[in-house]
């Protein structure tokens, strides 16, 4: 099991603590993505593959809007959590264990829309690994379909290579929750340590370690174009309302 699987397996039961209100976030992000899909000519009849679904943050909200959603992830722990949350929300989603670097190993069909949100692609630690992932993902998109992904604004972050992210402090019924990350850089790669501190009746500290590679927008754009996409555009938070830059690539 690689470090990415271990990171998300260990975080699965804690991941929702990164949000002030995870349920509200699923609804808000679904509205944002639905607008993007509509603006690109798709309705709720479009078949969606969320190839990095995590605990279902986007998949569940989109299914609640009426989209037929298939959701996959490399982490069994997160898939278990996502299935449980989908059931509790009363939405129907097909879940599969799949590596987005080798989607044809799991899926024979293609989809109208494939998404990979929340900085999933930068888990590819080399240019070659990213190219493999992009070719795998675009191979599952129907002609005329789109790929939608979000990544951090690494074009800006690489200028300063900050050692940490600002903390989020959420009030809870019994105290407060603090979450933040430290980043140890090695070239364009960095080790991320996620801390989740529950300061309630008893102090509990969660620590989760993973690795990322900072991907510039030009690199990802060029890979998408060379992998069969005819158009690539970027939407930034001030325009989309999403918390990270979003890339939209049409095949």
CB within 8 A of 122, min separation 6: which ones? 151, 152, 154, 212, 213, 214, 215
Residue 92 CA to residue 37 CA, distance in Å, equals 20
In this structure, are residues 38 and 244 in contact, taking their beta carbons and an 8 Å threshold? no
**Looking at residue 1, what is its pLDDT?**
58
Within 8 A by CB and 6+ apart from 233, the residues are: 247, 248
pLDDT band of residue 26 (cuts 50, 70, 90) is: very high
Whole-number pLDDT of residue 37: 98
Query: Could you tell me the CA-to-CA distances from 251 to 32, 73, 160, 194 in Å, in that order?
Result: 21, 23, 34, 35
**What is the average pLDDT across 201-226?**
97
**DSSP per position, 42-75:** --TTS-EEETT-TTTTTHHHHHHTT--EEEEES-
pLDDT of residue 244: 98
- Predicted pLDDT of residue 162: 97
How does residue 219 score in pLDDT terms, banded at 50, 70 and 90? Answer: very high
pLDDT in tens, 138-163: 999 999 999 999 999 999 999 999 99
pTM score, whole prediction: 0.97
> Would you list the domain boundaries of the chain?
3-154+215-250, 156-210
What are the φ and ψ backbone dihedral angles of 132, each rounded to 5 degrees? -60, -45
Question: For residue 71, is pLDDT > 80?
Answer: yes
Give the tokens for residue 76.
Answer: 């069994």
Contact (Cβ atoms closer than 8 angstroms) between residue 73 and residue 49: no
Q: What is the mean pLDDT of residues 189-210?
A: 96
Q: What is the pLDDT of residues 118-134, one digit of tens each?
A: 999 999 999 999 999 99
> Does position 237 have pLDDT exceeding 90, yes or no?
yes
How confident is the model at residue 215, as a pLDDT? 98
Contact 53, 29 (CB under 8 A): no
Domain 3-154+215-250 has CATH 3.30.1050.10: no
């Amino acid at each position: 099991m690689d470090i990415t699987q271990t990171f998300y397996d260990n975080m699965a039961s804690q991941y929702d603590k990164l949000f002030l209100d995870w349920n509200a976030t699923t609804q808000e992000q679904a509205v944002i993505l639905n607008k993007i899909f509509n603006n690109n000519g798709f309705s709720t009849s479009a078949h969606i593959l969320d190839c990095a679904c995590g605990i279902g943050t986007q998949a569940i909200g989109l299914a609640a809007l009426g989209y037929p959603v298939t959701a996959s992830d490399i982490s069994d722990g997160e898939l278990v959590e996502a299935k449980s949350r989908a059931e509790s929300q009363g939405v129907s989603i097909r879940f599969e264990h799949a590596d987005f670097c080798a989607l044809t190993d799991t899926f024979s069909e293609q989809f109208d829309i494939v998404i990979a949100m929340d900085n999933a692609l930068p888990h590819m630690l080399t240019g070659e690994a990213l190219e493999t992932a992009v070719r795998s993902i675009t191979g599952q998109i129907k002609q005329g379909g789109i790929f939608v992904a979000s990544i951090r604004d690494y074009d800006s972050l690489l200028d300063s290579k900050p050692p940490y992210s600002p903390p989020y402090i959420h009030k809870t019924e019994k105290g407060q929750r603090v979450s933040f990350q430290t980043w140890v850089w090695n070239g364009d790669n960095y080790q991320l340590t996620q801390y989740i501190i529950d300061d309630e009746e008893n102090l509990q500290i969660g620590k989760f370690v993973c690795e990322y590679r900072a991907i510039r927008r030009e690199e990802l754009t060029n890979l998408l174009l060379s992998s069969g996409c005819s158009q690539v555009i970027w939407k930034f938070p001030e325009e989309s309302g999403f918390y990270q830059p979003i890339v939209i690539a049409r095949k």
